[in-house]
Amino acid sequence: MSENTVFETDRPVFPFTAIIGQDEMKLALILNVIDPKIGGVMIMGDRGTGKSTTVRALVDLLPQIEVVANDPFNSHPSDPELMSQEVKEKILNQQPLEVLQTKINMVDLPLGATEDRVCGTIDIEKALTEGVKAFEPGLLAKANRGILYVDEVNLLDDHLVDVLLDSAASGWNTVEREGISISHPARFILVGSGNPEEGELRPQLLDRFGMHAEIRTVKDYQTRVSIVLQRLEFDESPKDFRKLYQEKQEELTKRIAEARERVKSVKLVDDYYSIISSICSDLDIDGLRGDLVTNRAAKALCAFEGREIVEEQDLIRIMPLCLRHRLRKDPLETIDSGEKIQQILEKYF
């Protein structure tokens, strides 16, 4: 393991590679790390199905990135779209930048968070008396170039959800108060989880998530026993349990890092562009987000599997994840959204 890789943490996290089942959720999370422009993941499922455990387990797998030292926004040292105004000014003034290698950050958004805590605040008194833009960064600043995780996102105040989705879509967060305006980059992978029994998200908000994973409670008793024994073993001795999966964790981290580079050169043949858009049209999906997300996710899956040309099987695997939450809900229909997509896929493939 490299010197920069931190495997042991103060609060041991369950290893991602030890999680049994829930392949759909794990794949969606990995693909978003490979290509953050997919637009995040909405994970909906029953209570106690490991949604939060899986998302937090992702932290160990996140590859390292270059950031400007002592910058609260995790600014990129060379990409203007991912750097704060202060860093841009330093570059314009030809001041040297100290660059560090650090793991991609993951930020938890607590349910009771206020808008100030999320977006940041401007110290008006300091701005008026000292003439400087005194900005106290919020969670969006900390999550820049990382992952923002919202557990029970369907219980979050609609106004805050709008703020999060707007920032995720634009890549910027703007705070305005008393005529003073401050903007900073806020490009993050938005991951939300929730239990459908506690309420659904509005369709226009669901559409803003790139992918949607549905989690079901495991029914097979042998699998349930395996999961229970595994969890008891982890709770008994977390560090020893993590050591058993250390090699697998490092292999998957390396695979993700390589895929992040490879995805830039992955090709999608022209026929597949037509097929993707035809399927979205047949499913009567509003807007073009479904088409765009499917294209990106197919390339990310192809890169993750070490290939450079998207295959038919890639589309079949990722289209239900990218499209099921965008279908219009018809109360008179008895067919499940996943089955509806499968029927359309069988028509084309």
Alpha-carbon distance of 338 to 265, in angstroms, equals 31
- Contact by Cβ (8 Å): 145, 82: yes
Token pair recorded at residue 240:
């020893």
For residues 313 and 334, the answer to whether their CB atoms sit within 8 Å is: no
Residue labelled with tokens 């229970």: 228
Active site residues: 289
171: left (phi over 0), alpha (psi -120 to 50) or beta: left
